[in-house]
Amino acid sequence: MPRRAKGRSRSGVARYRGYDSKREHNRAQELELLEAGGVIRDLRKQVRFPLELGGIEIRYVPSGRQASYVADFVYFDTTLGCEVIEDSKGQRTEMYKIKQAIMHAMGYTITET
């Protein structure tokens, strides 16, 4: 069964080489160039962060499955000297806003591009 695209984006399976949007595909290419140039390192794609607050896992009801945020990219920025969690955003959905708030409460900052 083909993968369903996020929002109004076209399916990334054929057109964008596995990415959910053209924006995400283009950003991945930019980051790969930055990594090759030594500006960033340890580039990872589609990194899952389990959501929890105060040491308690957040779970979906009624399935009981643990909720998670999936970052488009995570990398170490050598100029800033820190790890960056990045999301290529076209639309800021309500679910994204909730997960962003939980990530913030967990001590993470999400950079939107």
pLDDT greater than 80 at residue 28 = yes
Tens of pLDDT along 58-70? 999 999 999 999 9
**In-domain check, residue 81:** yes
Q: How many CB atoms lie within 10 A of CB 102?
A: 17
23 lies in a domain? no
Instruction: State pLDDT tens for residues 60-112.
Output: 999 999 999 999 999 999 999 999 999 998 889 999 999 999 999 999 999 99
Placement of tokens 């399976």 in the chain: 13
Q: How confident is the model at residue 11 (pLDDT cuts 50, 70, 90)?
A: very low
Q: Are 20 and 26 in contact (CB under 8 A)?
A: no
Q: Is the pLDDT assigned to residue 9 strictly greater than 90? A: no
Helix (H) or strand (E) holding 88: none
More confident residue, 4 or 90: 90
Domain range enclosing 68? 42-112
Number of domains within the chain: 1
Q: Are strands 56-57 and 110-112 parallel, antiparallel or unpaired?
A: unpaired
